[in-house]
Amino acid sequence: MPEVSTGSSSSQSLSHESSLIGAPVVRSEASAPVRNTDTDTDRTVISEDAPIHRHPVGILRNTANGQEIPISATTLLGRKPSKNVPAGMKVAVLTDSTRTVSRNHAVVSVASDGSMTLRDLGSLNGTYVIDRGNEVTVGPDAEVPLAIGVTLRIGDEFYAVDPGESDATSESSVTENSSAPSV
């Protein structure tokens, strides 16, 4: 089992799956949600009902390297994601010849209505939304609405946020974590 730092001087051993903030994600083998029995009420877990859309609600396109990332569910973006990811969350490995994208850089969340938000995960080189020439810094403590037509700067890589109705999109760089621990 991996050792996960919880912010204190000690480490705790978690199951093979935990949320992006280190809290265990509890799932049953049946699809009914199971309550997290952890007494720490300050921890957050991913909802069993996190929406997954059949077709992408948006596509991140990097025209410099040709990478396309369809967004149909909450997606972790990073150069080499290393954190345990909750079941159902997708992982997108960003092509990064500049090495300015952090291993676990940002998360795009998708709501049930198809709207998207962006949150930085404390990356070294930052995450920015560029809209009509104005660049807004995305911090780790806030989710910024993500609209079609804006550009993301993730490190030194740029991604246009395009509509998601393209049938030509490839999910080759996006994987879904479908594993769930037995409870």
pLDDT 10s digits, 138-173: 998 889 999 999 999 999 999 999 998 644 444 445
- Residues 73 and 56: their CA atoms lie apart, in Å, by 8
Taking the C-alpha atoms of residue 92 and residue 79, their distance in angstroms, rounded to an integer, is 8
Q: Please tell me the distance from the alpha carbon of residue 86 to that of residue 126, in angstroms, as a whole number.
A: 23
The CATH fold assigned to 58-176 is Tumour Suppressor Smad4 (2.60.200)
Encode burial over 131-155: b for 16+ CB neighbours within 10 A, e otherwise: eeeeeeebeeeebbebeeebebbbb
CA–CA gap between residue 179 and residue 147 (Å, rounded)? 30
Cβ(71)–Cβ(40) below 8 Å:
no
Amino acid at 99: R
DSSP state string for 155-180: TTEEEEEEES--SS---TTEEE----
Q: Report helix, strand and coil shares of the chain as percent, to nearest 5.
A: 0, 35, 65
Q: Give one DSSP letter per residue of 40-51, joined into a string.
A: -TT-----TT--
Q: Return the higher-pLDDT residue of 87 and 178.
A: 87
Q: Please give the share of the chain, as a percent, with pLDDT higher than 70.
A: 60
The pLDDT score that the predictor gives to residue 27 is: 38
pLDDT for 30-78, tens place per residue?
A: 434 444 454 555 555 445 555 566 689 999 999 999 999 999 999 999 9
Distance, CA of 14 to CA of 85 (rounded, Å): 12
Rounded Cα–Cα distance for residues 65 and 157 (Å):
9
Q: In whole numbers, what is the pLDDT of the chain averaged over residues? A: 74
Sheet strand arrangement including 144-146: 144-146, 116-120, 106-110, 75-78, 90-93, 174-176
The residue extents of the domains of the chain are: 58-176
